[in-house]
Chain A
Amino acid sequence: MGEIIESFEFRQCVSILKSTGERAKDLRELKDLIASVSDESIFHHTYQYFLKGHILEYTNDFAQWAGESLEERELSEHLSNIDPYDFKDISDLRNEILNVIHNHLERFPEPRKAIPGDEFYFNETVTFIFPVGIRARNLAEFLTAIRHVNTGPIYYHFYEARMRLGKGIDDFSRWIEDVFEKKDLAEKIRAIDPFMHTIEGIKEHIIEAVEEEVRKDMEVIDKCLTSI
């Protein structure tokens, strides 16, 4: 009788943007507003940065604005080094960002202003989560599915999952380890740096890793030779 395994149901998320009405024109205002805006806004400007097709110099909107609009390169480096997945909740992340900016302002107390029109606009999102309508029952189907889905499911299962599951674990590697006990493959996927690639890049890395595993599983020559 066939073994029943847990299949992988692809889901995705789409976000619509909402303005908070708040904007910062220099670093002091940025710091004051980071202290007071909603958790949803902090979440959007950090965790959801990867949804945007980001410039790979930075890892969140605050770092990008500091680097591009204020030309505070050192500060942008410090801010880019903050890993939001290290924090259990938004308030800890918020405090860390405030800390970094505060330390910078202690050393450089006269922040320059952004040029008009280039202020930092604090936004938040309403996110819709829904099924893609694709299910994979084995690695070969998973490989086919990953090749064909667009970036939405990759974001949901690779990035958003880290907050749901915690400990830097994504949905893909968890399924592969739990269902197929392929720890090595799971580790390979977990080792993909989420900050250093676009979502398309993440997709390519996952395809590469899974394809290699599927190919290995299909090979019978080694086994034939050793049995002679």
Chain B
Amino acid sequence: MFNQYLGISPKSDLLLLQMLGAKLNKRSFLHINSTRAGGGVAEILQRMLPILGELGIDARWEVIEGDSRFFDITKKIHNALQGHEEKIAKDMWQYHFNINRKNAEKINLDADAVLIHDPQPAPLIEFRKTGLWIWRCHIDASNPQKNVIDHLCQYCEKYDAAIFSVAKFTRAMAVDEFIIPPSIDPISEKNRALTDEEINKTLHKFQIATDRPIILQVSRFDRFKDPIGVIKAYRIVRKYNDCVLILAGSLATDDPEGEEVLNEVREYAANDPDVYILLLPPFSDKDINALQRTATVILQKSLKEGFGLTVSEGMWKGKPVIGGAVGGIPLQIVHGVTGFLVHSVEGAAFKIRQLLNNPEMAKRMGETGKEYVRKNFLITRQIRDYLSVWYSMENKGKSVLEL
């Protein structure tokens, strides 16, 4: 599998990966999150574990179990970290802790390095046995609700280190904080090249005609992705440019608000035949791939975003991407070069119109974007970074390490 990245990933990443794999050979690396399906974290872990294994690292992935009350609480924590006001009472925090305690009784937490993803399993630190423990935050925590982040930090500061996706999500913590953006896997079903037959199969399944330009946003149905805003932008574009809009997404098992938002979006679209709202089952990677490859312009008009994997996905397919100037999106989109950053519905509409009316610019932008992703946002880089953090924590105090 590792060899499949030759000719795709930068050579330096592959070389460093192999060297770090040799240094950490046969050591155990445990990842824990709260869902095996739906959302970017699960997607990355699915791809990362086999590669770690090939590098000689004993990698394992465990998923904590929780009931609907637990996931309601953790969704509120998630929203509060993203700056949305939520009331999280003492008994809710206690419930969060208790569910983690129950999971700690079932999961083998022994490993040389343990990476805990996001707030859901954060309290597991209280049941730590051995090894290096790192808390990995994928959320846009640039402007969190203070009492919520303070409470969460009571756990996070017991870790040996923390990882955030973007510098502005970090805060003054008493532990080492690393900045590692997430990534896409170029050879996965979501991102590999597709045949015309495969693409047409998807288009036929959803009855999508390609006689007009397609504007596409792929995301969970979540208010922070602003699907209503996307429809508003589309309606502005339609005044002068005939095109169709596709909003495609799945429901994540740890997101209880998804169905509510989906219904809001359907109502707002009001049965417009040129607005396709596609609820995809989990693991619809090939369909998403096909839709992205068919799109003329790809949107990720988020209001808050941890990273926005769909931005890199779209860029990898050579498409021009318009993204909300939030979270990790500006890391991927260099405005005017690898895509466009926008701050409003009107801004999104304007840039869509520019791209529809200038296919040469759109093509150049897509090509530049693809190369930018290749250098910076492939999974080999992210694994390289995780292993680098692990190795550097075992050589603490050194800012230069010669291999």
List the interface of chain A (C-beta within 8 A of B).
Answer: 12, 14, 16-19, 21-23, 40, 116-117, 119, 121, 123-130, 132-133, 150, 152
Contact = CB atoms under 8 A, between A and B. Distances in A.
Nearest to A160: B400
B178 interface: yes
A116 B176 contact: no
Contacts, number: 80
Contact of B399 (A116, A126, A152): A126
B402 interface: yes
Interface size class of B (residues with CB under 8 A): 20 to 34
B142 interface: yes
Interface stretch (B61-69, B100-108, B382-390): B382-390
B303 to A, nearest CB: 12
Interface in B165-199: 167-168, 170-173, 176-180
A116 to B, nearest CB: 7
Given A121-B167, A129-B402, 13 more contacts: A14-B12, A16-B178, A16-B388, A17-B167, A17-B179, A18-B177, A117-B143, A121-B168, A124-B399, A127-B401, A130-B15, A132-B12, A132-B15
Contact of A150 (B11, B164, B168, B180): B11
Q: Which of A22, A116, A130 has the most CB of B within 10 A?
A: A130
Interface of B: 10-13, 15-16, 19, 142-143, 164, 167-168, 170-173, 176-180, 326, 384-385, 388-389, 392, 398-403
8 contacts: A16-B178, A121-B170, A123-B167, A126-B398, A130-B19, A130-B403, A150-B10, A152-B12
Contacts of B142: 117
Nearest to A134: B11
B399 A130 contact: no
A136 B327 CA distance: 44
A51 B300 CA distance: 28
B164 A130 contact: no
B84 to A, nearest CB: 16
The 4 A-B residue pairs with the shortest CB-CB distance, nearest first, are: A21-B172, A19-B170, A121-B167, A17-B179
A53 to B, nearest CB: 8
Given A19-B178, A40-B399, A150-B12, A126 B171 contact: no
Given A22-B172, A116-B143, A127-B401, A16 B392 contact: yes
Contacts of A150: 10-12
A14 B385 CA distance: 10
A127 B178 contact: no
A14 to B, nearest CB: 6
B323 to A, nearest CB: 15
A15 to B, nearest CB: 9
B274 to A, nearest CB: 35
Contacts of A22: 172
Given A121-B168, A127-B399, A130-B16, A18 B11 contact: no
A128 to B, nearest CB: 5
Nearest to A16: B388
B164 A19 contact: yes
Residue from B19, B398, B400 whose CB has the most chain A CB atoms within 10 Å: B400
